[in-house]
Structure 1
Amino acid sequence: MKLSVILAPYDSGHYQSGFGQGPEALVAGGLVDALTLAGHDVTVEDIGQVGDAQEREIATGFAVCRAVGNKVGNAIDHDRFPIVLAGNCLTAAGAVAGEVADSIIWFDQHGDINTPDTSSFGFLDGMALSTVLGLCWRPMAKTIRGFRPVDPSRCLLVDARDLDPDERKLLDTLPVMRADCVNAAEKAGKLNAGGAKRTHLHLDLDVHNPDFLQVNRYAAPGGPSPEQLREAVCSIGRSVPVTGVTVSAYDPAFDPKGEVPPVTGYLLVDLVAALERI
């Protein structure tokens, strides 16, 4: 398969800092080599520095989305499957736009479904899924070329076990589907039944159980092992029309043994193999 690996090395508006060091660390740790050895034609692109010199979180965060959206759209125009390695989850909004995705599967230990009205921390990335679903930051999201919010009924949120109280209340009012990793593939089939044709797959690596793999400073108990996540993702890849992937939230400072890159490489190799079987 022809693949385009797109690096978006930003964390809260800061270039190559914190989570923003994750994309390059994944590549240096062998992720691209693993895909190439599996027989795929892989290109690697970095969006470079975007936004302004002040590195304002909101302005730069959406500048990253715009750059990623353009790269993803160009990859698809050249028949390449896009894999975005991102610092922040908000970047998925750009990937969704570039893919013209009409549905989304969101693996994350957090809900990322706060809004400015519900967030007590003001953390933009905690509003990432809400942005994708058109619940907040609408004027900024409109600056991403081709962005159309995903209907909440075409969203599957997987293993979100660390939710703010207001996130729980909001989710109770929305038709977002919920699943644990073990039944994610079964629930994902309902997207097909609902008419979904182009599904974006978002993988926040902190969905992993930290007893098996810690990817950043935010570690809530529970969650899948790497093998369980890989099995769920591959089952989804064999049954759902996945048009692209974002991988986010790896901070190499919390992975002193360099365990995360090879695990992520194995996951993506198996996922692409599953997609090829469709």
Structure 2
Amino acid sequence: MNFLSLLDRISSVDAPSDAAPRRDLLRQLGQAGARAAVAALPLALGTPAQAAPANNSFDAVVLLLKLEDLLMDFYTKALAAPVLTNAAQAAVRLDFVRLQQQQQGHARFLRDTLSFAGVTPPPAPSFDFSGRRNNPANPVLFPNVLTDYTAFLQLAQQLEDASASIYLGQLAFLTTDKPLFDAVLRMQLVEARHASHVRTLRRSATPATAVKSWPSTADTAPTAAVLVPSTSSSGATPTSIYTFEANERQISTGTTVVPFPTILTGVNAVQSRAFAEAFDEPLPTLQATALLSIFG
């Protein structure tokens, strides 16, 4: 698969006018004759630097199903809660109705996939979006997400950003089933569009939040951050999901780093931050599982 072609598609969906730097980097790679240098990149750099945990296609589908159940439940609860039922949010309510319906369609597809394969789909967990894990004794990690629009959007952005990254991380386990791989890839693109749209809503909200349409180190950091274990040797150190998106180095084959500063020179030169912004990073299975366990 042509990796740069895929990135062109991902980076262009629902992008506002300030999306130019991200698309420009991809175009400049072509203008600089770099397509041959990066054509061998793995799909969305889906192979983590550390050894991939044991997994198979069914495990990947089950993980994605729990993700979709979480997102569907999040929007279902929000649509029934003050955060999206007050008059001030009437203009955006239909946006989240559509997001909820699309998550529902994704969950239905993944359940059907398991059923057709003779695997009994797991029931949807009971989700708690306060972060208490359904235990009143635990501290509230995400206060007021169903009553305060700003808090709701902040968590929605993190869940949608994580969703796109989780899909990328699981694609590596589906390569032997082309129809399923293609379907899941299309679903990943939908999740990326969701994330971009939620980020747009945050910029247009009152008060507005300074975030781009894709993860960037220039974004205002969330005050209630979704934390997962790091991939360091200690492993248990909590880190933001955006730590993975700060990567400015991309691997072509083996340990060979794509030499962006050498390729992109002169009129094609870009800021180093753009290297990280142009590439969507996968969230490894361990971190994806930890993230989902925060809520259910």
TM-score (norm 2): 0.32
- Greater Rg, structure 1 or structure 2? 2
Please state which structure has a larger fraction of its residues in helix.
2
Please state which structure has a larger fraction of its residues in strand.
1
